[in-house]
C-alpha cells in the first residue's frame, strides 16, 4: 500500500501540532487529505444510508419554527428510499463507521498517526445538498473535518461549556449564539479543518457535498469505573473485608473518619502494583472496544486461499473498523482486541500483531513463522484485513 503522508501543513511538525493546537485552537490544513478526493460520490452515501446494516441519521430543517413545533426533525436508521421523498430544501444525511464499509477509507487514519490509534472514534460522513447543514453546535471530542466532494463553508466561534444554552425542544443539541466568529472559510475537496473539543462550529454546503469527520475521543470516567469493577471481580483478595480502626461513637453513626479510612485503603490499593495492573487492563479493555457491531463478511477465504493471496503479493493490515492495541507491562507486551485481552500467543505472534497494531502492512515473509491457521483466525476475528495488490 502507498505510504500516506501525515495530514499537517508542511510548516507544522506533529510535535508542534500537539503542543500548540491539539485541544487548544483550530487549524486549516489545505489539501491535507488529497487521497479522499473522488473516493466517494453523493450517490454512494445515499445508497449506503438505506442499507439495513448502516448506522445513519436523516436530519431535516423546516423553513421556520411553527408554534411549539421543532424546527428540526431527526430520523434514525433504518432509513428507506421513501424517507428521501418530499424533503425540504435543507437536509443532511449522516452515516457512521465508514471504516466498516471501506477499508480503503479506514486506511486514511494513517494520515493522523500523530494521534494514538486507541483515541480514534470513527469516520462519519455527512452528505448535504446546497444549503444543507446540521446547525450550530459543538462536539465533546476532537474532530478533523475533511472535505471529500464539493465544498462547505465553515464558521467557528466561541468555546462552549456546561453553561451553554441549547435551543429548547429540538431533537439535537443546537444553539443560536456562537459568539465572535474566529474562522470563516470555504473548504474544497481535499481540505481538512481541525476543530478542538467544545469549539462551536457551523457548516453549510455550498453545493452537493460530502464531509468526512475523523473523530478522536477518550473514555469517560464512568466507563473506566465500570471496567475497574469488572476486572476487580476476578481478584479474590479484594473480597476480604477491610480491617479498620475503631473509636467510641454513636451506634447509628457512620463517622467521617471511617469513610476516610476506607478511602485511604482504596487509594492505597489503586496506587499499588496490583492496582496498576487492574487499571491498565480496565483502560485497555475500554479503549479497545468497538463502538459498532461488526458486519459479517460477504465472502470468506480458507487458509490456503489466504496464504496463496499473500504469496501473490497481497498484504495484511490492521482493520481500522476494529480495535487492536497493546500495552507494555512489567511482564511484557499485552495485546487487546475489541475489548478483550488476547492470551496464549507466542513471542512471534505478539511481535507480528504489534507491528500490525502500529499500522505496518505485512507481507508473506513477515508471517512465515506463524501457523497459517492462526493468521486465518486473526482475519476471521476482524483484527486484520487482506489488501490485494492493484
Q: List, for residues 55-108, the tens digit of each pLDDT value.
A: 999 999 876 665 555 588 899 999 999 999 989 889 999 999 998 889 889 989
What confidence score (pLDDT) does residue 295 get? 64
In angstroms, what CA-CA distances link 13 with 6, 18, 21, 29, 33?
10, 9, 11, 13, 16
- Same-domain status, 80 and 138: yes
- Same-domain status, 167 and 232: no
Domain membership flag for residue 166: yes
CA-CA distance, 138 to 178, in Å (whole number)? 10
Q: Are residues 136 and 170 in contact, defined by beta-carbon separation less than 8 angstroms?
A: no
- Same-domain status, 310 and 197: no
Instruction: Say how far residue 315 (Cα) sits from the centre of its chain.
Output: 24
Query: Residue 148: which residues within 8 A CB-CB, separation 6 or more?
Result: 36, 37, 39, 40, 125, 189, 210, 211, 212
In angstroms, what CA-CA distances link 150 with 36, 171, 209, 210?
12, 27, 4, 7
- Same-domain status, 236 and 209: no
What confidence score (pLDDT) does residue 251 get? 87
Domain membership flag for residue 8: no
By DSSP bridging, strand 142-149 and strand 209-216 are antiparallel
What confidence score (pLDDT) does residue 309 get? 92
What confidence score (pLDDT) does residue 318 get? 87
CA-CA distance, 199 to 136, in Å (whole number)? 10
Q: Are residues 215 and 121 in contact, defined by beta-carbon separation less than 8 angstroms?
A: yes
- Same-domain status, 319 and 367: yes
Domain membership flag for residue 129: yes
Q: For the domain that residue 23 is a member of, what is the CATH number?
A: 2.60.120.650
CA-wise closest residue to 93 among 51, 125, 61: 125
- Same-domain status, 53 and 172: yes
- Same-domain status, 69 and 188: yes
Domain membership flag for residue 294: no
Q: For the domain that residue 383 is a member of, what is the CATH number?
A: 3.40.366.30
Domain membership flag for residue 4: no
Domain membership flag for residue 5: no
What confidence score (pLDDT) does residue 298 get? 58
What confidence score (pLDDT) does residue 301 get? 82
What secondary structure letter does DSSP report for 275? H
Range of the domain at 155: 14-216
CA-wise closest residue to 158 among 193, 185, 194, 182: 182
- Same-domain status, 379 and 230: no
Q: Which residues of the chain have pLDDT under 70?
A: 1-2, 63-70, 294-299, 390
Domain membership flag for residue 146: yes
- Same-domain status, 173 and 312: no
Write out the three cell numbers for 185.
472559510
- Same-domain status, 50 and 104: yes
Domain membership flag for residue 287: no
- Same-domain status, 142 and 199: yes
Task: Give the number of other CB atoms < 10 A from CB of residue 274.
Answer: 14
Residue the block writes with cell 449564539: 177
What confidence score (pLDDT) does residue 40 get? 96
Domain total of the chain: 3
- Same-domain status, 132 and 167: yes
Cα angle, residue 332 at apex, residues 287 and 265 outer, rounded to 5°: 65
What confidence score (pLDDT) does residue 65 get? 60
Amino acid at each position: 500500500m502507498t505510504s500516506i503522508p501525515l495530514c499537517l501543513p508542511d510548516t507544522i511538525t506533529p510535535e508542534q501540532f500537539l503542543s500548540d493546537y491539539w485541544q487548544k485552537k483550530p487549524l486549516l490544513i489545505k489539501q491535507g487529505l488529497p487521497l479522499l478526493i473522488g473516493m466517494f460520490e453523493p450517490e454512494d452515501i445515499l445508497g449506503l444510508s438505506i442499507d439495513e446494516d448502516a448506522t445513519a441519521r436523516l436530519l431535516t430543517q423546516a423553513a421556520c419554527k411553527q408554534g411549539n413545533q421543532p424546527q428540526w426533525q431527526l430520523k434514525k436508521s433504518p432509513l428507506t428510499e421513501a424517507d428521501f421523498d418530499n424533503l425540504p430544501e435543507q437536509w443532511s444525511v449522516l452515516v457512521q463507521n465508514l471504516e466498516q464499509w471501506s477499508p480503503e477509507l479506514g486506511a486514511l487514519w494513517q494520515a493522523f498517526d500523530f494521534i494514538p490509534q486507541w483515541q480514534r472514534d470513527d469516520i462519519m460522513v455527512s452528505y448535504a445538498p446546497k444549503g444543507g447543514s446540521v446547525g450550530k453546535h459543538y462536539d465533546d471530542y476532537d474532530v478533523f473535518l475533511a472535505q471529500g466532494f464539493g465544498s462547505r463553508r465553515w464558521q467557528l466561534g466561541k468555546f462552549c461549556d456546561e453553561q451553554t444554552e441549547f435551543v429548547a425542544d429540538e431533537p439535537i443539541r443546537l444553539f443560536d449564539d456562537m459568539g465572535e466568529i474566529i474562522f470563516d472559510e470555504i473548504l474544497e475537496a481535499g481540505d481538512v479543518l481541525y476543530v478542538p473539543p467544545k469549539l462551536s462550529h457551523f457548516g453549510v454546503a455550498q453545493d452537493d457535498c460530502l464531509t468526512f469527520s475523523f473523530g478522536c475521543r477518550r473514555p469517560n470516567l464512568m466507563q473506566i469505573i465500570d471496567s475497574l469493577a469488572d476486572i476487580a471481580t476476578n481478584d479474590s483478595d479484594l473480597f476480604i473485608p477491610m480491617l479498620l480502626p475503631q473509636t467510641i461513637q454513636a451506634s447509628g453513626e457512620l463517622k467521617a473518619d471511617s469513610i476516610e479510612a476506607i478511602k485511604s485503603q482504596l487509594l492505597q490499593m489503586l496506587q499499588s502494583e496490583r492496582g496498576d495492573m487492574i487499571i491498565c487492563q480496565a483502560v485497555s479493555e475500554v479503549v479497545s472496544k468497538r463502538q459498532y457491531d461488526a458486519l459479517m463478511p460477504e465472502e470468506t477465504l480458507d487458509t490456503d486461499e489466504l496464504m496463496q493471496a499473500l504469496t501473490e503479493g497481497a498484504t495484511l493490515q490492521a482493520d481500522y473498523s476494529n480495535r487492536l492495541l497493546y500495552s507494555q507491562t512489567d511482564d511484557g507486551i499485552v495485546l487487546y482486541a475489541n475489548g478483550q485481552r488476547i492470551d496464549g500467543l507466542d513471542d512471534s505472534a505478539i511481535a507480528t500483531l504489534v507491528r500490525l497494531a502500529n499500522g505496518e502492512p505485512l507481507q508473506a515473509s513477515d508471517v512465515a513463522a506463524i501457523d497459517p491457521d492462526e493468521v486465518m483466525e486473526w482475519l476471521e476475528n476482524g483484527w486484520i484485513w487482506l489488501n490485494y495488490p492493484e
